[in-house]
Amino acid sequence: MLAYILNICGWLLLPFMDGIAKYLSTEIHFLQVVWGRYFFMLVISIPLAFIFFRKELKFPKSLSVQLWRSFFLFLSTVFFFYAISIISLAEALTLAFVSPIIVTVLSIFYLKEKVGIHRWLAVFIGFFGVLIIIRPGFIDLNFASLSALLAGISYAFYILYTRKLSFTDSAFVTLIFTGSIGFLIISMIVPLVWINLSLQQVLFLILLASIGTLGHFFIILSLRLGEASKLAPLGYFEISTNILVGYVFFDDLPDIWIYLGLLLIVMSGIYIFIRENRKT
């Protein structure tokens, strides 16, 4: 039971990080927000790791896999932070929820897995949900919506490389390594858009990173207590806080099309998880 509580708490916290990122992107470049997310995450998580997980801090055994999955998670963060700087939190997150669907398709080519008719049906239903949200031909398709989709696709590659890792490295080693790679990449890019930060902006970046780190810390703890396959569908709880934050702070309330698309995407994603954990 504790694993479920921690996992849900982690997912419910993360939209507050996204809300702060959306607010800050109105004042500074979204890449600078990404930099703050990675920098302060390392400042917070490294001491946390030494206090709670000192024995598990070892150099990664699967370096190439760690590098690739860190890169794809970085891409996912950049695409998602750009998306929420333009469109609503709910629309961006809903479109990014395509990741389980993309994983199913890519697993055929990268992991040589067999996908049956039931999972293909779920993929098509999820894709139809995406079409309902972006409604090509009925509304102007913008790069922000495509960026949210790219965030989901990048995250799907991250999941694929996580599967290849075979759990040879501890979760906290992965968290710190991922943060370090992301920080190194963004630090080479952010000088192009850098502006001096006010004290308030710095405090908001620290709060953003603190919420993100705490959320992921809860999720990591939950995965130590429960099975990942059973906890995975709980990630959809993130949309509830996401909608709340969007409405309270940005007066963004999803329209009927986003709700309908979300329903189809979530149903297809949960069904894919169920099929993947069945022996048939």
Task: Count how many domains the chain has.
Answer: 1
What gap in Å lies between CA 18 and CA 35, rounded to an integer?
Answer: 14
pLDDT attached to residue 171: 65
pLDDT attached to residue 280: 45
Nearest alpha carbon to residue 156 among 225, 103, 214: 103
Q: Model confidence at 160, in pLDDT bands (50, 70, 90)?
A: confident
Token pair listed for 46: 């490294």
Tens digit of each residue's pLDDT (9 = 90 or more) over 246-262: 888 888 878 888 888 88
| The residue to which tokens 């130590």 are assigned | 224
Percent of the chain at pLDDT > 90 equals 29
Tens digit of each residue's pLDDT (9 = 90 or more) over 163-213: 666 556 666 677 788 888 999 999 999 999 999 999 999 999 999 999 988
The residues near 199 (Cβ < 8 Å, ≥ 6 apart) are none
Tens digit of each residue's pLDDT (9 = 90 or more) over 91-126: 888 888 887 778 777 777 766 666 667 767 777 787
* Structural domain of 143: 2-276
How far, rounded to the nearest angstrom, does the alpha carbon of residue 270 sit from its chain's CA centroid?
Answer: 17
pLDDT attached to residue 232: 65
Q: Is the pLDDT of residue 137 over 60?
A: no
pTM of the complete model: 0.84
What is residue 139's three-state secondary structure?
strand
